[in-house]
Structure 1
């Protein structure tokens, strides 16, 4: 079963709409199974605020419905927005709404399966899908998106990936995640002291230990927010705080006080 549309934007006129879930016959007529539910504009506005959308950024709306999130992002924030949906009726409606708002050059829409969409270039992703779809999409987000990218979802979470922020907006739940860098494994630290650190990771939650002079010392207050990593180590009875930016297989320490490379 293909997931094609989401419950988010809807027509401003009253209508009975649906989410497109598959193509059934040789004539390619859509099978419409799930009720289509609009995202209130108050929720749209807050989702984009949580995503910290800025002018010129690339915003991707998965399952874009009537396009109201992408159109709002382009019109109010100056973003370049792309909405993806598999319901051709919703795509045409979204394009019409973008034209009406005067942002057809910045809010565009494609008839495409969200799982086949290149999400890696987006600065922010918004979505209003289904719980099972969010979970199925989660590995793609973690694999393809840059650390620090913000993911904002209306109504549904992503399983055991704890959101970085969660709040209620006019009775609707909105979730926000920041894509974490991949830091699990052994790292060689170079600075005033050279040693290795082994990190365990579950999404943005990290823990681990340092191997210093043959002693295993636990990391304290370890944190990971996008590409920003931090942890404390007690060395010779003195606490040291390490903060840096992850860049692939390298970590640059704050003020160049230290650096790290992934151990081979």
Structure 2
């Protein structure tokens, strides 16, 4: 059948479909949308919290250095995209881990990339919502998201990760949670947080048969404290890194240095057995 003999409605439908597809591609280019965002626009994939933008290898190396990722670590990569951060953690640092992303095309690419890199036995990838992904058992969480998404994730990170776990983010911070370290490459920055133990509240310290109360006021890893020794109230300057707490306290004219590991409602001393602490009421 000659084109001129085709029904007009069929020609119009074909032309209209081509126009929509072409317009969508040009719109994506005009808005600088990446492939994942364009697939969302076209209704191919679910709406994403963050459009995928790949992290340069130099920044990946810096992030893994900052978090001191090693062979004993399990890494969870949130918004993994094509899996490049997690694959580098496995290939270059010997880590294991899980990468999650809502975009099935990205997950397929990540799995293929893991096979090509020879680390498919050390990492896995799943199409999943990062806000519903369990973080329990992770030693390191990596992410390149958005400031608003980081803030939404913050309560889950603090609740599910063990003290001492590391979180490393490319480009964006987590509001008033001060990073423990930062590093830069050119104009790009990476941030590290070490999940702090919960020491907020009143504790009873026992040392050499004596007992005295200590009150800690905590905001993330920043801690202030006071100790009541006899009739004297002494201001403390505690340092908290992960599950390790340090402070000094003058007792009977002698400055004592305390360093312990926080285990829930107990603080167990490091390198000595002459003191012990428990949270009041426990």
Which of the five TM-score ranges fits, normalised by the shorter chain? 0.7 to 0.9
- Equivalent residue, structure 2, for 1:215: 232
One of 112, 115, 118 as aligned partner of 1:96: 112
* Contact kept in structure 2, 1:62 and 1:126, CA below 8 Å: yes
- Equivalent residue, structure 1, for 2:274: 257
One of 78, 83, 106 as aligned partner of 2:122: 106
Q: How does 1:157-236 map to 2 (within 5 A)?
A: 157-192=173-208, 193-219=210-236, 221-236=237-252
- Equivalent residue, structure 1, for 2:28: none
Q: Distance in 2 between matches of 1:207 and 1:20?
A: 49
Q: Distance in 1 between matches of 2:277 and 2:180?
A: 26
Which runs of 5 or more residues in structure 1 are unaligned? Answer: 1-14
- RMSD after superposition: 2.2
- Equivalent residue, structure 1, for 2:148: 132
Aligned residues: 247
Q: Distance in 2 between matches of 1:92 and 1:130?
A: 23
Higher helix share: 2
Displacement of 1:24 in angstroms is: 10
Determine if the alignment matches structure 1 residue 247 to structure 2 residue 263: yes
Displacement of 1:238 in angstroms is: 3.1
Relative CO higher for 1 or 2, CA cutoff 8 Å, sep ≥ 6? 1
Displacement of 1:19 in angstroms is: 4.8
Deviates more, 1:137-146 or 1:232-241: 232-241
Q: Distance in 2 between matches of 1:212 and 1:21?
A: 65
Q: Distance in 2 between matches of 1:130 and 1:173?
A: 13
Kindly name which structure, 1 or 2, has the bigger radius of gyration based on alpha carbons: 2
Q: Distance in 1 between matches of 2:276 and 2:204?
A: 8
Which runs of 5 or more residues in structure 2 are unaligned? Answer: 1-32
* Contact kept in structure 1, 2:36 and 2:103, CA below 8 Å: no
**1:118–1:89: structure 2 CA closer, same or farther, 3 Å change rule?**
same
Q: Distance in 2 between matches of 1:22 and 1:181?
A: 40
Q: 1:245-264 CA distances to partner (integer Å, 9 max, x unpaired)?
A: 11111101122231101111
Displacement of 1:38 in angstroms is: 1.3
Displacement of 1:108 in angstroms is: 0.8
Paired residue secondary structure (1:54): coil
Deviates more, 1:49-58 or 1:232-241: 232-241
* Contact kept in structure 1, 2:90 and 2:119, CA below 8 Å: yes
Determine if the alignment matches structure 1 residue 36 to structure 2 residue 77: no
Displacement of 1:29 in angstroms is: 4.4
Q: 1:178-225 CA distances to partner (integer Å, 9 max, x unpaired)?
A: 000000011111112311111000000001111222432211x31000
Q: 1:18-72 CA distances to partner (integer Å, 9 max, x unpaired)?
A: 35997997xx743469653211000011111111111142111011010001111
- Equivalent residue, structure 1, for 2:171: 155
* Contact kept in structure 1, 2:260 and 2:269, CA below 8 Å: yes
Paired residue secondary structure (2:88): helix
Paired residue secondary structure (2:163): coil
